[in-house]
Amino acid sequence: MRVFNLVWAGQAASLIGSRMTTFGIGVWVFARTGSTTAFATLILAGSLPGLLTLPLAGVLTDRFDRRRIMLLSDIGTAATPLALLALNAAGLLRPWHLYAMVAVGAVFQAFQWPAFSSLITQIVAKDDLSRANGRVGVAEAGGIVLGDLLGGTLYAVVGLGGLLLVDLTSFCLAVCTTLLSYRLLPIIPAARPKDAERRPVHAEMAEGWRFIRQRGGLLGLLVFFAFYNLTMAMALVLVTPLVLSSHPPSTLGVINAVGAVGMIGVSGVMSVTRQPRRLVRAVLLVAVLHSGLLLAMGGSHGAPVLLTVGMFGVLGGYAVTNAVTATLWQRKTPASVQGRVFSVRRMIAWSADPIAFAVAGPVTEYVGRPLAEGPLTDSAGRLTGTGTGGAVAMVFVLSGLLLALVVAVTCVPRAVRRMERDLPDAEQPVAEPVPAAPAP
Asked if 308 contacts 253 with a C-beta cutoff of 8 angstroms, the reply is no
Mean pLDDT score of the chain = 82
Asked if 221 contacts 416 with a C-beta cutoff of 8 angstroms, the reply is yes
Asked if 335 contacts 191 with a C-beta cutoff of 8 angstroms, the reply is yes
Angle between helices 304-332 and 279-298 (to 10 degrees): 160
pLDDT at 186: 77
Secondary structure (H, E, C), 343-355: HHHHHHHHHHHHH
pLDDT bucket at 354, cuts 50 / 70 / 90: confident
Q: Cα 196 to the chain's mean position, in Å? A: 32
pLDDT at 238: 81
Range with lowest mean pLDDT among 55-69, 104-118, 240-254: 240-254
Domains of the chain as residue ranges with CATH = 1-185 (1.20.1250.20), 204-423 (1.20.1250)
Cα separation, 349 vs 226, whole angstroms: 7
Q: Which tops the pLDDT comparison, 193 or 181?
A: 181
Distances (CA, A) of 42 to 47, 111, 253, 264: 9, 20, 24, 27
Averaged pLDDT, 149-171: 85
pLDDT at 123: 86
pLDDT at 437: 45
Q: Which of 184-188, 203-207, 288-292, 354-358 has the highest mean pLDDT?
A: 288-292
pLDDT by residue (tens digit) across 223-233?
898 889 888 88
Q: Which of 5-9, 29-33, 194-198 has the highest mean pLDDT?
A: 5-9
Distances (CA, A) of 170 to 19, 79, 177, 181: 11, 13, 11, 17
- How many Cβ atoms sit within 10 Å of the Cβ of residue 432? 11
Cα separation, 190 vs 64, whole angstroms: 8
Alpha helix locations (H) across 185-278? 201-205, 207-213, 216-237, 239-244, 249-272
pLDDT bucket at 264, cuts 50 / 70 / 90: confident
Residue 386: HSE in the Cβ half-sphere, 13 Å Cα cutoff = 8
pLDDT at 297: 78
pLDDT at 440: 45
Position 259 pLDDT exceeds 80:
yes
Position 250 pLDDT exceeds 80:
no
- How many Cβ atoms sit within 10 Å of the Cβ of residue 303? 15
pLDDT by residue (tens digit) across 327-346?
888 888 888 888 889 898 88
In 3D space, the residue among 180, 223, 197, 183 whose CA is nearest the CA of residue 336 turns out to be: 197
In 3D space, the residue among 125, 146, 145, 220 whose CA is nearest the CA of residue 425 turns out to be: 125
pLDDT by residue (tens digit) across 398-409?
888 888 998 998
Cα separation, 271 vs 321, whole angstroms: 13
Cα separation, 292 vs 308, whole angstroms: 14
Position 430 pLDDT exceeds 80:
no
Averaged pLDDT, 209-228: 88
Q: Is the dihedral of CA 257, 258, 263, 268 positive or negative?
A: positive
pLDDT at 412: 82
pLDDT by residue (tens digit) across 368-427?
777 766 665 555 555 655 566 677 888 888 888 888 998 998 888 888 888 888 888 777
pLDDT at 45: 81
This prediction's pTM? 0.81
pLDDT by residue (tens digit) across 49-59?
888 888 888 88
Cα separation, 203 vs 185, whole angstroms: 33
